[in-house]
Amino acid sequence: SAFPVAPEAEEERKNIALVETYLQNFYNLQKDDQPHVRLKSVNPLPEKLKEMQEFFGLKVTGKPDLETLEMMKKPRCGVPDIGK
Amino acid sequence: YVFTEGNPKWKRNNLTYRIVNYTPLMRRADVDEAIQKALSVWSNVTPLTFQKIEDKMADIMISFVVRDHQDNSPFDGPNGQLAHAFQPGEAIGGDVHLDNEEYWTKDGRGYNLFIVIAHELGHSLGLSHSTDPGALMYPTYAYTDPKEFHLPQDDIDGIQAIYGQSNAPVQPTGPTTPQACDPSLTFDAVTTLRGEMMFFKGRYILRKHPQRIETELNFISLFWPKLPSGIQAAYENIERDEVLLFKEDKYWVLRGYDIAPGYPKSIYRLGFPKTVKRVNAAYSDENTGKTYFFVADRYWRYDENKRSMDHGYPRKILSDFGKIGRVDAAFQKDGYVYFFHGTTQFQFDPRGKRIVRQMKSNSWFDC
């Protein structure tokens, strides 16, 4: 865009994308095909994030804290951690 | 360990595998060897056998592919997802796919092919990801020197729960992952390192930062891929900002957090007689510049300034350190020396030459 994006905002945007992709790949987070439609139902991402944090023995915060993001950036197996 | 949902397993013990193609980054013979070694990781602890076939459809088809390769699970280029595999079953069942955009190697560089394939074969046989950070079936990559690899107990328990025990007369066992608050926890070596405390145990380091409650458990190889597991002694020379690590008749020097070039060197350079084959424990007294090496029931004293052993040593540990007869690990902190022997820890006052307290070996972890 014509307006430069603040580095922090860019970083945050990347982290959110990392979290969503990771949880979709390995924790069965359903892809949100209609982001523009605000559903009344609960956002499943914090719960999925807690599931991932519990699996890896991290502090279960439901928030993408530094330790959680570092774990998500580690090279790993492509098989999901839960479910089929 | 965790079974794959639905508990899929092979109905036969004699399985076949086929290497469909090869990564251009390794010699074919090295790829063959890595795969054979990976298969034997599982066949050594179960009645399973794996026969290599060259054509036809095998139970386990092993291939190197990139990005979208028509199985609804595209790879993502270098790093990230390294490989995946499918649970036991017909057709794609049991198959292993490796991301051909990864830097595959047979050592500690890039990603070690043996380690990754051994993990994926766990999926091919019906195991899912384990929450045990030391397990082979833990989801994230962790390098271990293939020559030192032993299938961890968690994975042995899992695969034997599916296929039964090995036919070998003696059942194989594997390493367990140290738990900081396990009352039977003992240490191979302990040292300070720039204010932190490092407890060495097998292939692991339990790392304790004074300001943090949690204890971090990491593989030694995560920090220092070139270091072996099973470090036997360690001490920090605070003045020189160095940590020395000992195993058998060799030692390494860490400068800051990096292994100094030119190491390992022989411990005999320090002045040990050839009769000494290994060092059990060491600590350095930052007030006197003297370093104490403990070997069996004796100890040597080394002058860090003269860089030579003091005369009149070895002496009996019992004669100078109270009732402490043998030492597994030792370190100095705030003027006291902490000696570890088995599950017991002694706090020793080197000035008064007396033991002031006896604790459990894991008293430093907030259990």
**B20-43, pLDDT tens digit by residue?**
999 999 999 999 999 999 999 999
Q: Find, among B88, B92, B91, the residue nearest to B8 by Cα.
A: B88
Contact present, A52 and A27 (Cβ < 8 Å):
yes
Give me the interface pTM, i.e. the ipTM: 0.86
- Is B131 in Cβ contact with A79 (below 8 Å)? no
pLDDT of res. B256: 84
Angle at A11 between CA A9 and CA A16, to 5 degrees: 95
Residue B347 pairs with which residues in a beta bridge? Answer: B338, B357
Contact present, B192 and B286 (Cβ < 8 Å):
no
Q: Encode B97-134: b = buried (16+ Cβ within 10 Å), e = exposed.
A: bbbbbbebbbeeebbbbbbbbbbbbbbbbbbbbbbbbb
Measure the CA–CA gap between B309 and B237, rounded to whole angstroms.
16
Residue of B nearest to A70 (CA): B140
Chain A CB contacts of B111 under 8 Å are: 75
B334 reaches A (C-beta below 8 A): no
A31 reaches B (C-beta below 8 A): no
B104 reaches A (C-beta below 8 A): no
Measure the CA–CA gap between B94 and B245, rounded to whole angstroms.
43
Q: Find, among A7, A2, A45, A1, the residue nearest to A23 by Cα.
A: A45
pLDDT of res. A39: 54
- Is A76 in Cβ contact with B81 (below 8 Å)? yes
Measure the CA–CA gap between A19 and B78, rounded to whole angstroms.
19
Residue of A nearest to B97 (CA): A78
Give B234 to chain A, closest Cα distance, Å.
28
Q: Dihedrals φ, ψ of B90, to 5°?
A: -70, 170
Measure the CA–CA gap between B262 and B280, rounded to whole angstroms.
23
In the block, residue with structure tokens 């991301």: B99
Q: Can you tell me the mean pLDDT for B155-169?
A: 95
A71 reaches B (C-beta below 8 A): yes
Give Cα separations from B356 to A52, B53, B142, B302 (angstroms): 45, 67, 41, 25
Q: Is the pLDDT of residue A52 over 80?
A: yes
- Is A26 in Cβ contact with B5 (below 8 Å)? no
At residue B181, what is the residue type?
A: C
pLDDT of res. A38: 53
Measure the CA–CA gap between A28 and A30, rounded to whole angstroms.
6
Which tokens is B228 given? 């072996």
Which tokens is B194 given? 């720039």
B308 reaches A (C-beta below 8 A): no
A40 reaches B (C-beta below 8 A): no
**What share of chain B has pLDDT > 70, as a percent?**
100
- In tens, the pLDDT along A2-29 reads 566 677 788 889 999 999 999 999 999 9
Collapsed DSSP state (helix, strand, coil) of residue B215: strand
Q: Can you tell me the mean pLDDT for B108-122?
A: 97
- Is B129 in Cβ contact with A81 (below 8 Å)? yes
Measure the CA–CA gap between A72 and B146, rounded to whole angstroms.
25
- In tens, the pLDDT along B244-291 reads 999 999 999 999 889 999 999 999 999 999 999 999 999 999 999 999
Give chain A's length. Answer: 84
Maximum Cα–Cα distance across chain B: 77
User: What positions of B carry a catalytic annotation?
Assistant: 120
Give B212 to chain A, closest Cα distance, Å.
13
Chain B CB contacts of A75 under 8 Å are: 79-82, 111, 140-141
Q: Is the pLDDT of residue B79 over 70?
A: yes
Measure the CA–CA gap between A82 and A72, rounded to whole angstroms.
15
pLDDT of res. A1: 46
pLDDT of res. A35: 54
Q: Which of A56, A59, A77, A82 to mutate to test the interface with B (most CBs of B within 10 A)?
A: A77
Chain B CB contacts of A79 under 8 Å are: 84-85, 120, 123, 128-129, 139
Indicate the angle between helix axes B28-43 and B113-124, nearest 10 degrees.
Answer: 40
Measure the CA–CA gap between A78 and A80, rounded to whole angstroms.
6
Residue of B nearest to A56 (CA): B131
